[in-house]
């Protein structure tokens, strides 16, 4: 995984739109490579993500669904809303054949959101 950084070495995760590249090979030799652009969610995006998550869960009782499934549904809703660019193999996120690959993308997005939000919060406090 390569995160984009400028010549001064500043972290692009501090920008609202963050581009990153994924290269991953499965144990059977399947290779996946591509560039993503992720937009840190706005307040409106957060609302839309939560509504989409609820819609995806339908009438399922979250207490009767595995925590992992609930987490995947939430991340799927988030990625569908906030990934501006993605490689062809990630166009339909639910069809990514490897959980580890999905988790790799999800972790990079989560790190972006955490760093972007912390930076924004620090700027407001200062």
DSSP codes joined into one string, 88-109: GGGSSGGG-S-HHHHHHHHHHH
Please report, for the chain, the start and end positions of each structural domain, with discontinuous segments joined by +: 2-125
pTM reported for the whole predicted model: 0.77
Q: What is the pLDDT of residue 69?
A: 86
The reported pLDDT for the residue numbered 25 is 96
Spatial CB neighbours of 21, under 8 Å, sequence gap ≥ 6: 1, 2, 4, 33, 34, 35, 36
pLDDT in tens, the chain (126 residues): 544 444 344 566 677 899 999 999 999 999 999 999 999 999 999 999 999 999 988 878 878 888 888 889 999 999 999 999 999 999 999 999 999 999 999 999 999 988 887 654 444 444
Output the pLDDT for position 70. 87
């Amino acid at each position: 995984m390569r995160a984009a950084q400028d010549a001064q070495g500043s972290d692009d995760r501090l920008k609202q739109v963050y581009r990153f590249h994924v290269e991953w090979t499965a144990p059977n030799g399947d290779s996946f490579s591509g560039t993503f652009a992720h937009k840190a969610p706005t307040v409106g995006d957060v609302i839309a993500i939560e509504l989409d998550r609820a819609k995806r869960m339908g009438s399922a009782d979250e207490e009767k669904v595995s925590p992992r499934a609930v987490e995947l549904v939430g991340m799927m809703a988030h990625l569908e809303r906030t990934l501006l660019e993605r490689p062809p193999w990630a166009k339909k996120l639910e069809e990514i054949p490897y959980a580890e690959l999905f988790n790799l993308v999800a972790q990079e997005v989560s790190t972006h959101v955490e760093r972007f939000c912390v930076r924004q919060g620090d700027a407001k406090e200062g």
